[in-house]
């Protein structure tokens, strides 16, 4: 029976891969691609996140623990960055400016931290201000626990909604049968805080016994995409599945997204995780990938700079090393297109205040997509 299930999963993977290839073969030809790429910032190793400052300069996190300020064509290291636990997938991760940054100066970062009594590390969220290329007024807002020496599934992305609440993600830290379905434990969750780190009074589990009251949704595996929809204001998330089953989800208050009870993926060995892809009380993904693309970074296109792109969703692929553009009809994905193929592992993608798309590629740097006239 187990072998039959395994063969069925492998058949589904092959079928979905063929369908995905058919869709992608209908993508635009090179002459129709509405941009030319420019290596805008070079010499970066694993640029995990980026944020645009009001003066047009950029802040870039390197997974190794350095924060870079790129201004007037020069890279300067920012001082007083917190100590980062660099192991496996953990390091200095996302960076995001407060929606009212110009008035309050707060920036937010997620990183793997050793803080705590146990060995290893876990994901933390902090905020700070920037002056003369140094952080100050550093505040630790959330530190997940307990620490573990496992090197996988730290998450982590940051987003704000239209009401000013801050969301951030933490992966299940390789403890799939322990963390994601248990609201008394950190990991495998999307969290919601006030911008000062306090817990909103209407969070879904504030009255649940022993719950981590910052939790907003649960049953996640390793979310490395988190963004506010520019029209609806909903928070969209994507996460790594195992072998197959990467997901895009629209985050709902208190919802359970199923991992590992339901999944469209299988173990890396080819054996099944579960025979269930749906269950009452658990959310279905808005979209899923089979085979896995290993998604990281996510951006909605709201500018008119690129022909026929407005309203599209951009997602980086680590494993297949390209940028994927998904055409949406409402919330449904109706078309997939590969861009920047074979450039390297795409770690992040952002739309800048200039309306242009910036793509962080490991071992290369940050590409800017310059629209064709």
pLDDT number for residue 373: 76
pLDDT number for residue 32: 74
- Least Cα distance to 138 among 153, 151, 125, 157 occurs for 125
Residues annotated as part of the active site: 153
Tens-place pLDDT, residues 156-196: 999 999 999 999 999 999 999 999 999 999 999 999 999 99
- Contact (CB, 8 A) for 339 and 301: no
pTM: 0.92
Give mean pLDDT, residues 43-70. Answer: 98
What average pLDDT does the structure give for the chain? 93
Task: Say which CATH class 2-371 falls into.
Answer: mainly beta
107 pLDDT band, cuts 50/70/90, is very high
pLDDT number for residue 27: 39
Tens-place pLDDT, residues 74-99: 999 999 999 999 999 999 999 999 99
Tens-place pLDDT, residues 197-248: 999 999 999 999 999 999 999 999 999 999 999 999 999 999 999 999 999 9
pLDDT number for residue 156: 96
What are the residue ranges spanned by the domains of the chain?
A: 2-371
Tens-place pLDDT, residues 138-162: 999 999 999 999 999 999 999 999 9
Tens-place pLDDT, residues 310-335: 999 999 999 999 999 999 999 999 99
The percent of residues in the chain predicted with pLDDT above 70, rounded, is 92
């Amino acid at each position: 029976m187990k072998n039959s299930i395994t063969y069925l999963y492998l058949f589904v993977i092959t079928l979905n891969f063929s369908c995905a290839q058919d869709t992608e073969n209908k993508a635009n030809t090179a002459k129709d691609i509405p941009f030319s790429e420019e290596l805008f910032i070079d010499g970066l190793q694993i640029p995990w996140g980026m944020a645009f400052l009001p003066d047009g300069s950029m802040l870039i996190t390197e997974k190794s623990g350095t924060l870079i300020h790129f201004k007037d064509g020069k890279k300067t290291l920012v001082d007083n960055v917190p100590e980062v636990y660099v192991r496996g997938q953990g390091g200095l991760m996302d960076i995001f400016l407060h929606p009212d940054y110009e008035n309050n100066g707060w920036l937010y970062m997620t990183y793997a931290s050793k803080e705590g009594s146990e060995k290893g590390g876990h994901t933390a969220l902090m905020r700070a201000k920037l002056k003369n290329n140094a952080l100050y007024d550093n505040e630790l807002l959330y530190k997940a626990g307990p620490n573990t020496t496992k090197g996988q599934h730290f998450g982590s992305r940051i987003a704000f909604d239209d009401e000013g609440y801050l969301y951030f993600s933490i992966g299940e830290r390789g403890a799939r049968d322990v963390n994601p379905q248990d609201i008394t434990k950190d990991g495998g969750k999307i969290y919601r805080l006030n911008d000062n780190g306090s817990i909103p009074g209407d969070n879904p589990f504030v009255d649940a016994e022993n719950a981590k009251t910052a939790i907003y949704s649960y049953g996640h595996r390793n979310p490395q995409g988190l963004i506010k929809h520019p029209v609806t204001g909903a928070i969209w998330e994507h996460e790594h599945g195992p072998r197959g089953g990467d997901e895009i989800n629209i985050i709902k208050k208190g919802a359970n997204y199923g991992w590992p009870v339901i999944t469209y993926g299988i173990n890396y060995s080819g054996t099944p995780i579960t025979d269930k892809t749906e269950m009452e009380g658990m959310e279905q993904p808005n979209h899923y990938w089979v085979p896995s693309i290993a998604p990281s970074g996510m951006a909605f296109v709201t500018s008119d700079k690129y022909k026929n792109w407005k309203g599209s969703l951009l997602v980086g692929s680590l494993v297949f090393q390209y940028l994927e553009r998904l055409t949406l009809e409402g919330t449904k994905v109706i078309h997939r297109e590969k861009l920047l193929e074979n450039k390297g592992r795409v770690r992040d993608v952002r739309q800048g205040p200039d309306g242009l798309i910036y793509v962080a590629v490991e071992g290369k740097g940050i590409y800017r997509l310059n629209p064709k006239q």
